[in-house]
Structure 1
Amino acid sequence: MTTTEKTTPEKIAPEKITPEKITTEKITAGHQPGARTFRGDLDVPEGLPRGLDLSRIRNQDKAIAMYGRELVEKITDHALLADDYAYQAMLDVKDKSNNTSWRTFDKALDHGIDAIDDPTPGLVAMFEQLDRIPDWVDFDQLYRGAVAFWRAGPIVPPVLAWGAIAGGFSMYSATRPVLFSGRLKQTERVGTRLIESFRYVVAAYTPGNMGRFEEGFRLTAKVRLIHAAVRHSLSHSDHWDWAGWGIPINNMDSMVTQAGQFGVKFTDAVQSAGFRYSDRELEDIFALSRYVGYVIGVPEDILHTGYEDARLKTDLHTMLELAPDDLCRDVVNSIIKYSIENPPGGVEVLPGPVASFMTDERRLKLAYGLLHSWIPAPVMADLGIEKTGWARILPTIAPLVSTYERFSKRTFADDERAAFDMLRRFNDAIKLPEGADRAHTVANPDEVHADIAANKGGMPRVSKR
């Protein structure tokens, strides 16, 4: 592997926030003495409050009383820290004075960094971190976790589409970075964004897909660099509220995406239908989401370590979140309505027998009813989502499903078969059109940058950077 000359953190990321404001340890590659170190605050302007005092944070005193000042300050400090490994690599891609490009990055993903002639220091540092497999990773466990993730069958697509993805945007912080491009606000563009999200999540959570040269790993790393490009675009927008929101796509929010959105909230929603995960299955699922989080750039300093830790950090993040606003409401409703009226690839999110006899209006009422089983009542009230009669469907069927689960003699092979059957149907819905370039599997960063620069989401101006 290509190595780089030892470089001090100051040369790469000049300290812009004083130690009195940020006490978090530097993020390090942690596996080579000469590896580059990044503080996580590249391009962050001076003069900001520390994370705990950003206006997006509420219930500070309550959180400190319940979780302790050390943990609360540690987590909220990461609202002003982000993934500088990917950010520096992305800056190298944007720098026209070298030969690095998006295709260079793709080649390094497919063949390793050694396949690149004269790679830039930023690209080398990112792949040193990506190629390191933490000692807590057990690929057999990740495989089992992916099987458990999908084994519940027909309930998984609506949980994933409405509970995890749409429901995730009920979080004030999760919504801010996606508002600027307009891709989740303008109806005609929601479908593209939604399918891109499905492709990444489905690939990452497919059994066996997080090996270094497998598709799940590739798309997770690809999304990581896209996040860095979006961060760069937002960081240079006059419409980004630094003192309110912190750094775009920060570590604090990236952590809860894996621990909460595709972890605690996903497993809770599946179990609300009567399915029951064993303790081992939960640990396996959260081991998988932990490694996905590592590959997508969440520092191990705050990355969840298991099921209980994920729940604790998710609950803390929820307590600190501002209530959903009108912008959250617009995004959640646009995703759900689009998925009802234009199911991806013509494949229904709902189970076929259910979807076949329902009008769009009834499906929408069913989706909103299910959300009332998956999202806390105060959040649903803030979102303005009606509580339809379908809110009783899961409490009604859950005892029957639970009884079946308890007495069925299910083997791992049965679970594996159910998982891959569900994945085949889902992948048919989200596959690339025939002949399409594999680079289009997820978002085109140049197109997203152009949309953000044009402020197609119509966000109000905050200040000139």
Structure 2
Amino acid sequence: MIPRATACNTAVLPAAQATTPQAVVVAVPGTTARTPTQTTTATEMSPSGSVPGDYPARFRSAPERSRRIARPLRRVARVKTDDEELLHEIGRRLRTRDELGAQLAGAMRIRDRDDPERVTFAQLRQALNHGIGAVDDPPPALARFFAVVDAVPEWVDFDQVERGARIMREMGRSVDDVMLQLALIGGYRFGGPPDLLVATGGLVGATAMRRLGETQKWALSVLEPNGMRRTGAGFVATVHVRVMHALVNHEFETNGRWDVDRWGLPINQTDASATLGLFNSTLLLGIRALGWIVTADQSRAVMHLWKYVGWLMGVDEDWLFDTEQEQNRHNYHLVLVQAEPTSAGPALARALVEGQLTRDRGRLTALRNRYERARLLSMLRYFLGAQGLRDLGLPSAVPWAVPPIVAANLVRSGLLVRAAAGRRYLERASGRFARRNQRAMFGAATPEVGALPS
């Protein structure tokens, strides 16, 4: 029996089976300039000509299935009555975007080299790495963007941010397990974001493991000591990803390849908030399901870290939460509106499962790759259930890998974290795993997060 450290406990999980869909970390150019704000305007017409309240077809298109999958979150979040006003907002924001990012993306896609509004990738890199002051005569869109992201909100407590990152580093490989199995692959059970990933070519075939590695590289940078300070790797990578998302959104809003009336905007505020929910409260639910004891103070620190990350990513501020309870309630309502999976979800899931066989793990690579594939399927069975595996077209498995992980995590989180030496040991072990994992993904190449064009 895992001790009850907070209101959310593994007793209500594998039923951690309710996860929300995710946006993408990909690099595709794109554009039109719009008025920049940190939050999205409420009265904007969508590219399809519809008005707010005219929901995309995906909205609540599979109510019985969604309610079944959301049932565990309903218990965890102690939701007694569905919030119809929140559901309306979720539907509306399927058609709203990160306006500040969209305005910058528009300026970056101006073709006229003499246009004073044009922003180059070189200027963006300079501002990202050295500050807007390092850019000679910065274009207005670039200056406005960095005026927002460089201004730390009053509510940010960097001591809490650092504590949240350290706590996640101590959790080691279990963080990667939850993020890959419960969050990423679990999110492929719903239509929408997976279809965009397939459209960008980002997670199929030979690119599957590289894109996964890029996402993991970004998360590792967020968790570095001082990573979310202005010059930290996590800050730079997070703002970089925000711009890439804005470019992808513009590209697919305007190229005629994306069905806005069916799915909403390619990268919208609803899906962005769902992605954030995977990294905070879904991570905490999943980590408890793997035996890690999380105290209320630790939970608040992890939530605070990702609240700041979400703000930098351009998630609407009223959808940034301080507590698991609030986030889980929000996530529950997000699951209620989801669509059935399309062929994209199973294709992505299979690419990541079979991609385990392509990694270079050094000695005995073939044997270790087969073990890792079997381990992944075993843990997916635990997190997603038999029906979840069927939804994704994955082979059935037995969750044999989970009991030893739970036992080890109980020792780590119940004993080792109580002593400074134990915490240092856990951080070192986590770092070693991360380095091995990145080498298996990238080999001798330097991992990057969606490298900017020259």
TM-score (normalizing by structure 2): 0.79
- Asked if the contact 2:98/2:268 (under 8 Å) is kept, the reply is yes
Question: How far off its partner does 1:377 sit?
Answer: 4.7
- Asked if the contact 2:93/2:268 (under 8 Å) is kept, the reply is yes
The one-letter code of the counterpart of 1:217 is: F
Query: In the TM superposition, what whole-angstrom CA distance separates every residue of 1:351-381 from its partner, at most 9, and x where no partner exists?
Result: x9xx989554443232111012222554333
Q: Quickly say closer, same or farther: Cα 1:48–1:210, change in 2 above 3 A.
A: same
The one-letter code of the counterpart of 2:418 is: R
Asked if residue 45 in structure 1 is aligned to residue 53 in structure 2, the reply is no
Aligned to 2:151: 132
Q: Quickly say closer, same or farther: Cα 1:362–1:43, change in 2 above 3 A.
A: same
Aligned to 1:398: 406
- Asked if the contact 1:12/1:38 (under 8 Å) is kept, the reply is no
- Asked if the contact 1:43/1:235 (under 8 Å) is kept, the reply is no
User: What is the DSSP-based 3-state SS (H/G/I as helix, E as strand, rest coil) of the residue aligned with 2:210?
Assistant: helix
- Asked if the contact 1:57/1:320 (under 8 Å) is kept, the reply is yes
Distance in 1 of aligned mates of 2:361 and 2:308: 30
Aligned to 2:177: 158
Aligned to 1:239: 257
- Asked if the contact 2:357/2:370 (under 8 Å) is kept, the reply is no
**1:57 aligned to 60, 72, 80, which one?**
60
- Between Structure 1 and Structure 2, how many residues are aligned? 405
For structure 1, which runs of at least 5 residues remain unmatched after alignment? 1-10, 15-26, 31-36, 448-465
Aligned to 2:86: 71
Q: Quickly say closer, same or farther: Cα 1:71–1:204, change in 2 above 3 A.
A: same
Which piece of structure 1 moves more, 132-141 or 90-99?
A: 90-99
Q: Quickly say closer, same or farther: Cα 1:310–1:40, change in 2 above 3 A.
A: farther
- Asked if the contact 2:165/2:305 (under 8 Å) is kept, the reply is yes
Q: Quickly say closer, same or farther: Cα 1:399–1:248, change in 2 above 3 A.
A: same
User: What is the DSSP-based 3-state SS (H/G/I as helix, E as strand, rest coil) of the residue aligned with 2:317?
Assistant: coil
Query: In the TM superposition, what whole-angstrom CA distance separates every residue of 1:259-306 from its partner, at most 9, and x where no partner exists?
Result: 1x2123322222222111111111111111111111111120222332
Question: How far off its partner does 1:238 sit?
Answer: 2.2
Distance in 2 of aligned mates of 1:65 and 1:405: 32
Query: In the TM superposition, what whole-angstrom CA distance separates every residue of 1:27-77 from its partner, at most 9, and x where no partner exists?
Result: 8459xxxxxx85695872313673645334336797999332221112221
Aligned to 2:430: 422
Aligned to 1:371: 380
Query: In the TM superposition, what whole-angstrom CA distance separates every residue of 1:11-40 from its partner, at most 9, and x where no partner exists?
Result: 9649xxxxxxxxxxxx8459xxxxxx8569
Aligned to 1:333: 350
Which piece of structure 1 moves more, 262-271 or 248-257?
A: 262-271
Aligned to 2:294: 277
**2:450 aligned to 443, 455, 460, which one?**
443
Structure 2 counterparts to residues 43-442 of structure 1, below 5 A: 44-47=47-50, 50=53, 52=55, 54-58=57-61, 66-95=81-110, 96=112, 97-98=115-116, 100-185=119-204, 187-259=205-277, 261-338=278-355, 340-343=356-359, 346-347=360-361, 358=367, 360-389=369-398, 391-395=399-403, 398=406, 401-402=409-410, 405-408=413-416, 410-411=418-419, 414-427=422-435, 429-430=437-438, 441-442=448-449
The one-letter code of the counterpart of 1:55 is: R
Q: Quickly say closer, same or farther: Cα 1:118–1:356, change in 2 above 3 A.
A: closer
* Aligned alpha-carbon RMSD (Å): 3.3
The higher-RCO structure (CA 8 Å, 6+ apart) is 2
Which piece of structure 1 moves more, 172-181 or 244-253?
A: 172-181
Aligned to 1:453: none
TM-score (normalizing by structure 1): 0.77
Distance in 2 of aligned mates of 1:56 and 1:82: 17
Query: In the TM superposition, what whole-angstrom CA distance separates every residue of 1:168-198 from its partner, at most 9, and x where no partner exists?
Result: 333323212211122312x222232122211
- Asked if the contact 1:51/1:78 (under 8 Å) is kept, the reply is no
The one-letter code of the counterpart of 2:160 is: Q
User: What is the DSSP-based 3-state SS (H/G/I as helix, E as strand, rest coil) of the residue aligned with 1:301?
Assistant: helix
Distance in 1 of aligned mates of 2:336 and 2:412: 36
Question: How far off its partner does 1:250 sit?
Answer: 0.5
Q: Quickly say closer, same or farther: Cα 1:383–1:29, change in 2 above 3 A.
A: closer
For structure 2, which runs of at least 5 residues remain unmatched after alignment? 1-31, 71-78
User: What is the DSSP-based 3-state SS (H/G/I as helix, E as strand, rest coil) of the residue aligned with 1:374?
Assistant: helix
